[in-house]
Every structure is written in structure tokens, then in C-alpha cells.
Amino acid sequence: MVLGILGSGSGSNMQAILDAIDAGTLDARIALVLSDNPHAIILERARGRGIATGVIDCRGFRTKFPEEAQAETAGRLKAAGVELVCLAGFMRLVKRPLLDGYPNRILNIHPALLPAFPGLESWKQALDAGVPETGCTVHFVDEGMDTGPVILQERVPVLPGDTPQSLHARIQVAEHRLYPAAILRIAAGLAPAPSL
């Protein structure tokens, strides 16, 4: 399974995927890592592993993912032979034409038990709501905000005295287990992408 990663930050989930590949528990290869942030640590991590990288030109928009940029991103992923796209801390909403280029082939990991607490800083949302547990979700990406079909979830208890930082740290540990497991599940049932 040839993977492409889109990320905006440190790339800890990409590292978890690489660790699973190194351990032999995930039969996959990361062919390309793209970021909308030219200074993102995820790019440094990828380059350190000899993985091709690139920067997504979002035309100066801080949060929007322009159609032209999405079309370019889809083209670069296809040129690299990517079969499955994994969002790893990518902070822009994916729409068409990227979704059209990879229908049901884009995954995201979200730090909550969707459909609860979509959007940003969901661990803070969980604490503010006073729920006894939260967790993380790997799901297919559709045009909504964290609304695509769920693939796998893992529960994380909210402990007495939790801060946003302590809860988020425990959720990230679960994410690093869950994302490779979800990719493995998809890879087992996913037909090879048609060649272009």
C-alpha cells in the first residue's frame, strides 16, 4: 500500500505509521509527504527518512484550501503512485477536486469519539462538557467537518484532575496505535488504485 501524508505540524502520527512499517506490522510505504506549512516538523521528519516532500501553495489563505491547490495536490499524489491519503494533523478542510481524485481513499484521525466534538481542540471540548470518556477516531474524509464514515475508534477515560494538556497527551498515545491499525484494515480490503 503506497501512502501519501498531508500534515501541518509535528507529524507524530506519521511517525507512528513509520514505526508500524519498521516493525513489520504494516505492509506499506510512504511515498510523499506534503504540508501547507513550509516550516512544519513533519517535513523534516520525512526528509530525515529519505521520503519525498513538498509544500502546498494555498495562495496566501490562512485556513482555506483553494481548489487550484487541491487539484495540484491530487496531481502530485497521483504522480507519486499514492493509493491512500492520510491526513496527519492537516488543518485545512478537504473538498473537491482532491476528494474526486481519491474517492473513499482519504483518511483522517480526530482526537474525539466522533460524532462527538468535531472541529478544533476537541479534547478541550470534552473537558468543558464534563464527559467521563473521550478518545480518537479514524474516519474516511468527506466534504463535511469530521463527518465521514468511521473506520476505528479507541476510548480514553477522562481522569479527575485532567488538564487539556494531560488529556490530549493520552489521546495522542491512543492515536498512535489506532492510525496504523486503521490503515492495515483498509489495506486488507482495498483494491489497488487504477493506474493513470
63: exposed, middle or buried (Cβ count in 10 Å: 0-12, 13-18, 19+): exposed
Q: Are 32 and 80 in contact (CB under 8 A)?
A: yes
Cell of 195: 493506474
Write the CA distances from 21 to 145, 187, 188, integer angstroms. Answer: 29, 13, 15
d(CA 172, CA 85): 20
Catalytic residue among 110, 139, 168, 176: 110
Q: Is 168 a catalytic residue?
A: no
Active site residues: 110
